[in-house]
Amino acid sequence: MNNLVISPEVKKALDENRPVVALESTIISHGMPYPQNVETALNVEKIVRDNGAIPATIAIISGKLTVGISPEEIDYLGKKGLEVTKASRRDIPILVSRKEDGATTVAATMLIAAMAGVKIFATGGIGGVHRGAETTMDISADLEELGNTNVAVVCAGAKSILDLGLTLEYLETKGVPVIGYETDELPAFYTRESGYKVNYRMDNPLEIAKALKAKEELDMKGGVVIANPIPHEYAMDSKLISKAIDDAILEANRLGIKGKDTTPFLLDKVQKITEGKSLAANIQLVYNNAKLAAQIASELCKL
């Protein structure tokens, strides 16, 4: 595939059946300001390496689906920031045809990772069913991708700005298993609890890797959600975060913000309302997910 570029390091690791972890790039261009975005992205790659795997940060660079972008390209996306298109599945052919840049969402990262043969992907939180979706039909493309694409996603659950109950229902409809790592409950991104149960609890990376291997051998399509709660010391107070989210949603509705602009607007408002505490929590949970993803990828390669 001419439009797919795999870095030599990532390609060598895949050819030698060594662990590789896919990483998204929306967090670089749309997640936080420069240079904090670049520092965070490079730290995530370091954590993946420190835990025995090769990082493969994915982005669209000048129309090329690039698996394993360079530190210079990470810096480029970080500096360019919101000018970079936030790329989901629907945007990929347009950006390729126009030879433009794109920062990949969960859905786009999954799709490109699968093209390259990368089986494990670490992110912050997945998208899901938005509150009020029964009238707006605002449902993240991440859920459709999870229903179709064979990549396991390590995340801190779904973003707490969403309707978590309906998100779980949607994943069930799509046949996507939701595994809680050392938890029976779906984490809610900034907080460890949501009040909603996961499908299965697993307490070590090997157990998760065995489940992924079984799914692969059964040739079952679709992804797996591995829900990894934010570490205790970085978790936020659930009442504080709930009020911040409710206030942010009210403002979004008042301003008429819809579609793919909703999530970045809400996360930015929550960050301001919590005086930056939500951003600090976001960074720590991404680090935590990168570590677990590398451990699972390492175990999967041994099976």
Q: Considering Cα of 15, then 107, then 79, then 294, what sign does the dihedral take?
A: negative
CB neighbour list of residue 175: distance below 8 Å, 6 or more residues apart: 147, 220, 222
Q: Is 291 a catalytic residue?
A: no
Q: How many CA atoms lie within 13 A of 169 on its CB side?
A: 9
Asked whether 88 and 263 are in contact (CB, 8 A), the reply is no
How far apart CA 237 and CA 125 sit, in angstroms, is 18
Asked whether 183 and 192 are in contact (CB, 8 A), the reply is yes
**Active-site residue among 24, 45, 73, 145?**
24
Structural tokens at position 1? 């595939």
Q: Is 144 a catalytic residue?
A: no
Asked whether 73 and 7 are in contact (CB, 8 A), the reply is no
Helix (H) / strand (E) containing 23? strand 20-23
Q: CA-based angle 282:146:12, to the nearest 5? A: 80
Q: Considering Cα of 195, then 200, then 201, then 206, what sign does the dihedral take?
A: negative
Asked whether 111 and 93 are in contact (CB, 8 A), the reply is no
**Active-site residue among 86, 159, 269, 277?**
159
User: Residue ranges of the alpha helices (H) in 117-237?
Assistant: 133-136, 141-148, 164-173, 205-217
Tell me the catalytic residues. Answer: 24, 159
